[in-house]
Homo-oligomer: A and B are copies of this chain.
Amino acid sequence: MIRIQTRYRRRAFSLEVDSASEGPVLGIFGRSGSGKTTLLHILAGLIRPDEVLLEVQGELLARRPGGRWSAPEQRRLALVPQDPLLFPHLSIRANLTFAPGAAEELESPRGQRLIEILRLGALLERSPSALSGGERQRVALGRAWLARPRMLLCDEPAASLDPELSREVLALFLEAKRELGLPMVFVTHRAAELLALADDCLVLEQGKVIAQGTPLEVLAKPKAVGVAQLVGVDNLLRLEVESHDEAGGVTLMGLGEGLRLATPLCAHPVGTSRQVGLYAEDLILCRERPAATSARNALPARITSTDPIGHEIVVTLQLGREQVRARITPSAASELGLSGGQEVVVLIKTTACHHLSG
């Protein structure tokens, strides 16, 4: 459905993509500077590389060399840019109705719904300079949406939206996909968005595709360098509250196999289970239990695996019945002489354990 083939050089950076995806929604994932925006601009026709082939829903939009090239306005691939780039001399309403036909679209029930979801109703007569950052981003989204494009190109459309709004925007995308079959290429840094929305995804690293496939496939192979870094390897545990120690200011939570994690005192009733967040860098590994430590938690664990990822090493540990990950430097790893199956002691400060709601 979306076929992209291109090769483009720009000074130190070169982009090379060859991808064909079946589903209508293609997600692009990749660290900062990996070429995501560049790719979207090539698709939109704003950059004119020497080698490009672009086919959307069976329609050939560009083939070079080969002479076929359509101008941006002929492609009707509306862009939601990373900077919102609203037209500063036009009111929000005029921005939204900028594209040909957008005025009628805005008046339609679908358009009105969009305005409601994006919470733009009260802002229509304002000037773009009188909007907050998130409001601007929403207008850019609505503007592209109302252009009734052949396909939407979204560059991090939810980056500066609060979680609630970005969830609603996501729901909007989902609906558009289901009901309108609107094809989309979108850039995101959030795995959840990819999972929920994309039929296919593309992971870029320094201009090259390093992983490609359905989001589940791609995200389930986090060991592919880069993907793991992008997805994040922090720990989110659901633990049962075992007891409160009000004097000590801690709440003990069960890790299974008799192990307990001391966390900051909380009010959750004993017996209920709660999510606790732990940053991988807050876990300290030792070969033996240290004589004295300020860390309330010094827990025995077994190393399941060690994975060098980028410039650091991710150590996966079995801690009670939970699996947790720690991130350490290669030098620390070689000092400790870590290996799979080895028994270590994990130190965790009480304050490094964050109770999360939900």
Partner-B contacts on A (CB < 8 A): 11-12, 30-33, 36-38, 82-83, 119, 122, 130-135, 138, 155-156, 159-165, 167, 171, 189, 191-192, 195-196, 216, 219-220, 222, 228-238, 264, 266-267, 272-273, 275, 277, 279, 281, 310, 321-323, 325, 354-358
Given contacts A31-B134, A164-B230, A231-B357, 13 further A-B contacts (CB under 8 A): A32-B160, A33-B119, A164-B310, A171-B281, A191-B356, A216-B355, A220-B267, A222-B357, A222-B358, A236-B236, A236-B358, A273-B322, A325-B358
Majority-rule SS of A interface residues: mixed
A122-B12, A196-B279, A355-B216 given; A32·B232 CB < 8 A: no
In the complex, what's the smallest C-beta–C-beta distance from A17 to chain B, in angstroms? 16
With both beta carbons as reference points, the residue of chain B lying nearest to A137 in the complex is identified as: B32
Distance between Cα atoms of A36 and B323 in the complex (Å): 38
A to B CB contacts below 8 Å, 25 in the list: A30-B162, A36-B132, A37-B132, A37-B133, A82-B133, A83-B133, A133-B156, A156-B160, A159-B159, A162-B189, A164-B232, A167-B232, A192-B277, A196-B354, A220-B266, A220-B355, A220-B357, A231-B357, A233-B357, A234-B358, A236-B275, A236-B358, A237-B238, A238-B322, A273-B323
Which residue of B135, B273, B310 contacts A321 across the interface (Cβ within 8 Å)? B273
Contact A132 B32 (CB under 8 A): yes
> For A133, what are the chain B residues with a Cβ–Cβ distance below 8 Å?
32, 37, 82-83, 155-156
Known: A196-B279, A323-B273. A358 touches B231 (CB 8 A): yes
Partner of A264, one of B216, B229, B279: B216
Residues of B within 8 A of A160 (CB): 32, 82, 156, 159-160, 189
Copies of chain A in the complex: 2
CB distance from A332 to the nearest CB of B (A): 15
Bound-state CA distance A355–B219 (Å) is 9
Tell me which residues across on chain B come within 8 A of A238, comparing CB atoms. Answer: 236-238, 322
Closest chain-B Cβ to A145's Cβ sits at a distance in Å of 17
Please report the C-alpha to C-alpha distance between residue A164 and residue B34 in the assembled complex, in whole angstroms: 13
How far in angstroms is the closest Cβ of chain B from A236? 6
The answer to whether A31 and B189 touch across the interface, beta carbons within 8 angstroms, is no
Minimum CB distance partner of A134 in chain B: B32
Q: Which residues of B contact A33 (CB under 8 A)?
A: 119, 131-132, 134-135
